[in-house]
Amino acid sequence: MALLTKAPKGTYDLLPRDTARWQAVEAVMKSEAELHGFREIRTPVFEHTELFLRGVGDTTDVVEKQMYTFEDKGGRSITLRPEGTAGAARAMLEHALYNEGLPVKLYYNTSCYRYEKPQAGRLRELHQFGVEMFGAADPAADAQVILLAHGAIGRLGLRNITLEINSIGCPTCRARYHQALKEYFSARCDELCETCLSRLERNPMRILDCKSPVCQEIAAGAPKILDYLCDDCRTHFEAVQQYLTLAGVEFTVNPTIVRGLDYYTRTVFEFVSSEPGYSFAIGGGGRYDGLAEELGGKSIPGLGFGLGMDRILLVMQAQQIEFPAEETCEVYLASMGQAAQQKAFVLAQKMRECGIAAECDVCARGLKAQMKYADKIHAQYTIVLGDDELANGKAELKNMATGEKKEISIGDDFIDAYLTLSTEQSDLAF
């Protein structure tokens, strides 16, 4: 009989053999965020569509082409989150987290949904680790957020990752830049794709982010935003670079970075992999000082980043970076007969209550099959219980790596006996 269905295109199952790697990466991200004073937030997987129309921007590819939007049974337009910042900003405003003191520092590990053509590092269900900081306008905040991502990437052991930064200015200086872009692209408007033609009047900066090879070739010669920064934005960007230099972080100024979402202002950045076969940004972010007001809240500056967990794992595997070993069963209690099975059941539960990973048979298998299973789950030790062991109150604890055996009590002092034997040597071997 054929399977009823398989995982939707652009998604995949994270199997138990893979989750240890993900958990190791997530633990590093969480640790680095908390070292910088960030606290976890969890927001709904779906939001009202207007949140993303207003926050992300209706001229972006995300909104125009990629959002999963539907009408619920109450007639409301709902969208699966395509990114994490808008939801975090909404939650910060709705619950007035700014009253708890500024800056508000939040982090999250979340799934996002975008309708894209699936390929390596580009999925319809993607996973992000992100941070958001609200209430800090100083360039030192920009540097701290960048350093957080830089620190996590370094702790993971990733190689061939470069930091690229840019400034896209504020609404004041960007107005002059938009005019320069309109004049430049208008001269070649007959070559632009249909989407970029619609952006020419509404938001010409979006043309710089177009994926069409023709539009990319045209955009290569477009005016650079750095030539249009106002004095305040230029000073801010120079200060960010000074802080990064003081911290010993290498970076490249890339004036073509604009990021794909409309809420960005001033500092934007990306961490880019040059690993052969995986040349893409593994994450990026920037400042979004007008987002809170755009969502109907008070004026609160903000900034943050998102790191693509799927992409990071791909690069780590390509670079053969070692992951911590998956935690396995410590003790498997095999049994022969109903009485022995019941004893094994009780002893296994006692071990778990003491923090020892233990398993016993729950499939009514014979001893040979139980031992095969113990080997498959990489049990460190095994104990076999039968009528003789029950009568004597003793059994053998076998080290599966060395084959050596030690007699162990299975009475009331079972746990103490096991702990004594297992700690006789620091490597838990006899």
* Positive/negative CA dihedral, 339, 344, 347, 348: negative
* Positive/negative CA dihedral, 84, 89, 95, 98: positive
Distances (CA, A) of 223 to 11, 348, 405: 39, 69, 75
Q: How confident is the model at residue 39 (pLDDT cuts 50, 70, 90)?
A: very high
Share of the chain above pLDDT 70, in %: 97
The whole-number pLDDT of residue 261 equals 67
Q: Say if residue 427's pLDDT is above 60.
A: no
The whole-number pLDDT of residue 61 equals 67
Q: Say if residue 365's pLDDT is above 70.
A: yes
Closest CA to 330 of 307, 303, 348, 312: 348
Q: What is the CATH number of domain 331-422?
A: 3.40.50.800
The predicted model gives 198-219 an average pLDDT of 85
Q: Say if residue 166's pLDDT is above 70.
A: yes
Q: Say if residue 430's pLDDT is above 70.
A: no
Q: How confident is the model at residue 417 (pLDDT cuts 50, 70, 90)?
A: very high
pLDDT tens string 223-267: 999 999 999 999 999 999 999 999 999 999 999 888 766 778 999
Judge whether 108 and 88 are in contact, CB under 8 Å: yes
User: Tokens in use for 333?
Assistant: 């209690």
pLDDT tens string 104-142: 999 999 999 999 888 877 899 999 999 999 999 999 999
The whole-number pLDDT of residue 429 equals 43
Closest CA to 207 of 236, 229, 177, 228: 177
Which conformational region is residue 202 in: left (phi greater than 0), alpha (psi within -120 to 50 degrees), or beta?
alpha
Which conformational region is residue 279 in: left (phi greater than 0), alpha (psi within -120 to 50 degrees), or beta?
beta
Mean pLDDT of all residues belonging to the chain: 92
Q: Say if residue 48's pLDDT is above 60.
A: yes
Domain ranges of the chain: 16-170+230-318, 331-422
Judge whether 225 and 177 are in contact, CB under 8 Å: yes
What distance lies between CA 4 and its chain's CA centroid? 31
Q: How confident is the model at residue 301 (pLDDT cuts 50, 70, 90)?
A: very high
Q: Say if residue 209's pLDDT is above 90.
A: no
Q: Say if residue 186's pLDDT is above 70.
A: yes
More confident residue, 62 or 279: 279
The whole-number pLDDT of residue 424 equals 64
Report the chain's terminal Cα–Cα distance, integer Å: 50
The predicted model gives 263-285 an average pLDDT of 94
The whole-number pLDDT of residue 107 equals 98
The whole-number pLDDT of residue 260 equals 62
pLDDT tens string 370-387: 999 999 999 999 999 999
Q: What is the CATH number of domain 16-170+230-318?
A: 3.30.930.10
